[in-house]
Amino acid sequence: MPNYRIIGADSVEYGPVSAEQIRQWITEGRVDSQTKLQAEGGSEWTRLADVPEFAAASPVTAPPACPTCGEPFERGFDSCWKCGTRKDGSRPKDWTPVADGAAEAVEPCPKCGSSNVILGELSAIRHSLSATFLPAEARIFSLALTPGVALSTDPSYACRDCGLVWNYLRPEELKEFISKHCTRSEQQDAYALLTEGARLESKGDPAGALAKYEAVMEKFPGTGAAKDAEISIRNLRDRLG
């Protein structure tokens, strides 16, 4: 019998585990009919209830409803996304209820132009390279993150039509990011000078080319670029006599 991978209530992938282990988890209530699983070596994810060998063992149960507003609790979450009430009926601290029709007006989607845009926030999932978008009036969904990405604490936006999720960088934050992550390396600068020297040489400007090659040797001594510049200088001077 095949082993399986599953996506837990925390949106983290687990496995591979045996079918026997999954049946044990069903008994313990750790997975349910809506749990996504994938046969090892397969490519498609499906609901546990749709796999024949688990269908009989997996009771199809509706998610519990919020005792305050009646909205179904999202799987894996203990608080209602709409009013903040917990499953035990208590309310979390610092929660602002969402009033029907009170969503903040936002600008159209920059990708498709749709006005069907909602305001929310991005929240990283612990121990995972993914995040959830927690909108004011929509179901929770997950996003993949590139390693090292830091989420903004500012409000984010999501388009219900094309699926785009976006945020905005403050000018000072953008400058800091560019200076930290987008600076040119010394090797790039050295070979940029070499390339400029070769261009000037091909245009019939040997003096300008020599100046670029010498600048490489002066600014980046001991590097491979400096050695290439030395060879270029020698070859150019030999041709000039």
What are the residue boundaries of the structural domains of the chain, listed by start? 4-55, 64-97, 117-169, 186-240
pLDDT given at position 103: 47
Q: Dump pLDDT digits (tens) for 190-233.
A: 888 888 988 898 888 989 999 999 999 998 888 888 888 899 89
Q: What global pTM score does this model have?
A: 0.33
First vs last C-alpha separation in the chain: 80
pLDDT given at position 101: 46
| Segment 11-15 mean pLDDT | 77
Measured distance CA(26)–CA(58) in Å, rounded:
6
Q: What does the block give as tokens for 200?
A: 């000037």
Q: Dump pLDDT digits (tens) for 106-138.
A: 788 888 888 888 888 877 766 555 667 776 555
Query: What's the chain's length in residues?
Result: 241
Measured distance CA(41)–CA(5) in Å, rounded:
10
CB atoms within 10 A of CB 159: 21
Measured distance CA(122)–CA(130) in Å, rounded:
10
Q: Which residue has the higher pLDDT, 192 or 58?
A: 192
